[in-house]
């Protein structure tokens, strides 16, 4: 139905197997998907269903056991370091656990300067860089003057995740993969993080792949939903189709775990 829109990331038979023999885990099992430009896609599944593994394959951080990934309709080639670096200019990520996402020996400034350098701004005058970093920080309601010369671990989980968004603000990738960006932080910060993500997406018009175990949240944010169970996509389609009219018992179970959805969100947010 959305096929007129341009494909940005798609996959065929994508599989990841960890280990050998008896200890073999099929984390991702022959999944097919087609993500379109500008969409917000949610991948929903319970813990251990293989969401993070799939995300890492999409990012090219781990190799696939089987299957292919297509980037903008062409088979993805990230064979060399140079090609990888180019690929990562287009696709970026926010990881699940902000506390382990930063190098504890590097200051916040370095994290942000890396992004400027990656966008080719390495030779800009220092003042200009500071201006860019300040802008990125203020986008997520952080004050760069307060962060400069500090270490990421001195920030709260919510602040660290906002800093991640500031990073994406500087990088302006085509695709952002957000792997449960709110699962490790307190409930109060969650809404703000989501807000900033959505704002950022509107601002730079990127495709957002949103990974979550919260089907209610997926319904709330996304255009397209993929339901993942034990490494397989069991159901997919537009958010309305999948969530208002689930075909699979697994999807129904996920829905039952979120009691609110039919009562409040159902009517107010459609």
Partner 1 sequence: MKHILHEAFRSPKFVTGFVIFMAILALVVFYPLFVTDHPLAIIGQGTFFPPGIYVSVYDTTNAPQYTMMLPEAEGNRIGAKLGDVEREAMREWLIDFGIPRAEIDIDDTAKLMTLWDAYYDPALRFQGMTSARQKYFARLDASLEGLLVMEPRVIAVPNTETGAFEASQSIELTDFVNVNEVANVRVLPLGTDNFGRDMLTQLVSAIGTSLQIGLVAGTVATLIGLTLGLMAGYIGGLVDDVIMFFTNLFTAIPGIVLLILISYSIGQENRGAVTVAVVIGVTSWVWTTRAVRAQVISLRNRDHVNLSKLSGHSIFHIIFADILPYILSYVVMAFILQISSGILAEAGLSILGLGPKTTDVPTLGLMMRWAMIYSAHILNKWWAFFPVIVAIALISFSLNLMNTGLDQVFNPALRE
Ligand X SMILES: Nc1ncnc2c1ncn2[C@@H]1O[C@H](COP(=O)(O)OP(=O)(O)OP(=O)(O)O)[C@@H](O)[C@H]1O
Task: Tell the smallest beta-carbon distance from residue 56 to partner 1 (Å).
Answer: 7
**Does residue 114 belong to the site contacting partner 1 (CB under 8 A)?**
yes
Contact call for residue 132 and ligand X (CB under 6 A): no
Question: Rounded to the nearest 5°, which phi and psi values hold at 101?
Answer: -85, -15
Choose among 110, 245, 91, 117: nearest CA to 177: 91
Q: According to the binding rule CB under 8 A, does residue 106 interact with partner 1?
A: yes
Burial 225-245 (b: 16+ CB within 10 A, else e): bbbbbebbbbbbeebeebbee
Least Å distance between CB 62 and ligand X? 8
Binders of partner 1 in range 117-156 (CB under 8 A): 117-118
User: x-or-dash pattern for Mg ion, window 40-69, by CB under 5 A?
Assistant: ------------x-----------------
Question: What is the token pair recorded at 172?
Answer: 């302006």
Taking the complex as a whole, the smallest distance from the CB of residue 179 to Mg ion amounts, in Å, to 6
Verify binding: residue 222, ligand X, rule CB under 6 A: no
As a three-state string, the secondary structure of 43-100 is: EEECCCCCHHHHHHHHHCCCCCCEEEEEECCEECCCCCHHHHHHHHHHEEEECCCHHH
**Binding positions for partner 1, 49-78, rule CB under 8 A:** 56, 59, 61-62
Contact 178, 208 (CB under 8 A): yes
The interface region with ligand X, picked from 51-59, 105-113, 145-153, 259-267 by CB under 6 A, is 51-59
Residue 48 in contact with ligand X, rule: CB under 6 A: yes
**Closest distance to Mg ion from the beta carbon of 213 (Å):** 8
Structure tokens given for 166: 């500031």
- Cα angle for residues 170, 176, 182 (degrees, 5° grid): 95
Is residue 197 near partner 1 by the rule CB under 8 A? no
H or E element at residue 163? helix 157-171
- Give least dist CB 103 to Mg ion, A: 20
Q: Is residue 84 close enough to count as binding partner 1 by CB under 8 A?
A: yes
* Backbone angles phi and psi of 30, in degrees to 5: 45, 65
Residue 97 binds to partner 1 (criterion: CB under 8 A): yes
The answer to whether the beta carbons of residues 92 and 101 sit under 8 Å apart is no
Q: Choose from Mg ion, ligand X, partner 1, none: what does 76 bind? Cβ within 5-8 Å by kind.
A: none
Chain residues that interact with partner 1, rule: CB under 8 A: 56, 59, 61-62, 81, 84-85, 88-89, 92-93, 95-97, 100-106, 111, 114-115, 117-118
**Binding stretches for ligand X (CB under 6 A):** 18-19, 25, 27, 45, 47-53, 96, 213
């Amino acid at each position: 139905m959305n096929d007129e829109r341009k494909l940005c990331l798609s996959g065929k038979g994508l599989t990841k197997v960890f280990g050998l023999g008896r200890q073999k885990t099929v984390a991702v099992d022959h999944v097919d998907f087609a993500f379109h430009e500008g969409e917000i896609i949610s991948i929903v599944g319970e813990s251990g269903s293989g969401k993070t593994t799939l995300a890492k394959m999409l990012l090219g951080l781990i190799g696939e056991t089987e299957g292919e990934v297509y980037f903008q309709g062409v088979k993805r080639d990230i064979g060399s370091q140079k090609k990888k670096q180019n690929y990562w200019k287009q696709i970026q990520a926010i990881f699940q656990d902000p506390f382990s996402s930063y190098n504890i020996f590097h200051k916040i400034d370095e994290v942000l300067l890396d992004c400027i350098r990656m966008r080719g701004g390495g030779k800009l005058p220092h003042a200009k860089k500071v201006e860019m970093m300040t802008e990125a920080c203020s986008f997520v309601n952080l004050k760069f003057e307060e962060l400069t010369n500090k270490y990421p671990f001195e920030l709260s989980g919510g602040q660290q995740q906002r800093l991640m968004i500031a990073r994406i603000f500087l990088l302006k990738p085509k695709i952002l993969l957000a792997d449960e960006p709110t699962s490790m932080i307190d409930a109060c910060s969650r809404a703000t993080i989501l807000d900033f993500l959505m704002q950022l997406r509107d601002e730079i018009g990127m495709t957002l792949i949103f990974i979550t175990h919260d089907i209610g949240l997926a319904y709330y944010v996304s255009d397209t939903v993929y339901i993942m169970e034990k490494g397989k996509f069991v159901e997919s389609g537009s958010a309305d189709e999948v969530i208002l009219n689930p075909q699979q018992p697994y999807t129904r179970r996920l829905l039952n775990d979120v009691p609110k959805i039919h009562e409040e969100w159902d009517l107010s947010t459609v």
